[in-house]
Amino acid sequence: MRVSDPYGTTWRVTRRWLPWQRQLRGVDLPTGDPSRVGDLGHDPGDLLLGGLLLVVLAPGLVLFVLAGLELALLVALLPLVLLARVVLGRHWHVEARRGWTPVWEGEAGGWSGSARRIREVCAAIERGQLPPRTLME
């Protein structure tokens, strides 16, 4: 559920579907305009430049591939986690995010309990009672 606090900041209060949270902090992905590379391949210096570009861009490519594999694993595990929550009666966690940054999380009980908790947290945020920071940046 999306809600705004009195200061105009957008918050999102939702159930957390997976029992863990992705950790991708402190990673700087390479940026740049690949069209500015120019004509490579006309002399031996271009080979050296191409090798240097490969060394510089390889970590970003590896991160991209690993993130794709992680996403595939999460999609594969999602039905199992949902089944475990239903069959084993696992409690749902509710999280509040300022924009897309997770700020707070709390255990909320079953499906209806988590829906009630989401409404309570949204109402508190609209009144200006912001949730305490319980998650690291």
Can you give the residue ranges of every domain in the chain? 2-16+90-127
Q: What is the average pLDDT across 127-132?
A: 92
**pLDDT at position 98, please?**
92
- Provide CB contacts within 8 A for 62, sequence distance 6+: none
Contacting residues for 100 by C-beta, under 8 A, at least 6 apart: 12
Q: CA angle, corner 23, sides to 135 and 69, nearest 5?
A: 150
In 3D space, the residue among 74, 87, 58, 86 whose CA is nearest the CA of residue 24 turns out to be: 74
Question: Could you tell me which residue, 116 or 46, shows the higher pLDDT?
Answer: 116
* Separation CA 16–CA 13 (nearest Å): 9
CA 123 to centroid of chain Cα atoms = 24
Say which range, 42-46, 49-53, 78-82, 105-109, has the weakest mean pLDDT: 42-46
> For residue 112, what pLDDT is reported?
86
Structure confidence at residue 29 (pLDDT): 47
Say what the pLDDT of residue 42 is. 65
- Closest of 96, 93, 91, 92 to residue 122, by C-alpha: 96
